[in-house]
Amino acid sequence: MTLNDLWFLADRAAQSAEKAYHQLTKHYNDPLEFTRTKTVSRVRFRTLAERISRSGAPYGSHTIVYRPTGKLLLVRHEEVDMWVLPGGQLDTGESFHDAARRELAEEAGIDVTYDGLATLTRVEVVYRDHRTWGVMPVFAARANTVETDVCDPDGEISQARWFSELPEDTRDREDLLAWRADVF
């Protein structure tokens, strides 16, 4: 792919992101919104722009699972060596909500009741003078059970645990703390 092709891919990705953003904000009321910028390599830019072109999202869809006590469920993602929210890429034809539900079942095996969209992050992806963006929707769900069962077919998730205090190595820790402060 030439650099000029990256411009077209970035433009197509931004159009897909815009569509996804409008669909999500039309369907769900008042999620907390954040913006994050990721500076990446040329290869990573292409990968993320292709993902965004397909679904509007570079990193898929995720779920904040909470208990009435304020404890949050995180999963250990071995590839990135961090605690993260359960979630991942959309399968073909899958909605953001369906992807979040499927990924939660695989990565934590817990029964929940979904509340709606908790946060919506605009992820700006940059490679030199190329830019695009995508959405990262995070749904909120109240836990109906507390026992977890990791059955991740990708083998990336090693454990699922409840936290009152979020570990320092939690991805998007400040966003999660802001959401919890807004809800609890």
* Mean pLDDT of each 10-residue bin along the chain, 184 residues long: 80 98 94 96 97 97 96 96 97 96 95 96 97 98 94 90 97 94 91
The pLDDT value recorded for residue 118 is 96
Q: Contact at 8 Å (CB) between 83 and 169?
A: yes
The pLDDT value recorded for residue 2 is 56
CA–CA distance, 8 with 147 (Å, rounded to integer): 46
Provide the residue type at 5 as one letter.
Answer: D
CA–CA distance, 116 with 24 (Å, rounded to integer): 10
The pLDDT value recorded for residue 47 is 97
CATH 3.40.50.980 fits 3-183, yes or no: no
User: Which two tokens mark 99?
Assistant: 């992807």
Q: CA nearest 140: which of 161, 163, 115, 173?
A: 115
The pLDDT value recorded for residue 1 is 52
The pLDDT value recorded for residue 21 is 98
The pLDDT value recorded for residue 154 is 84
CA–CA distance, 95 with 168 (Å, rounded to integer): 31
The pLDDT value recorded for residue 32 is 94
CA–CA distance, 64 with 87 (Å, rounded to integer): 9
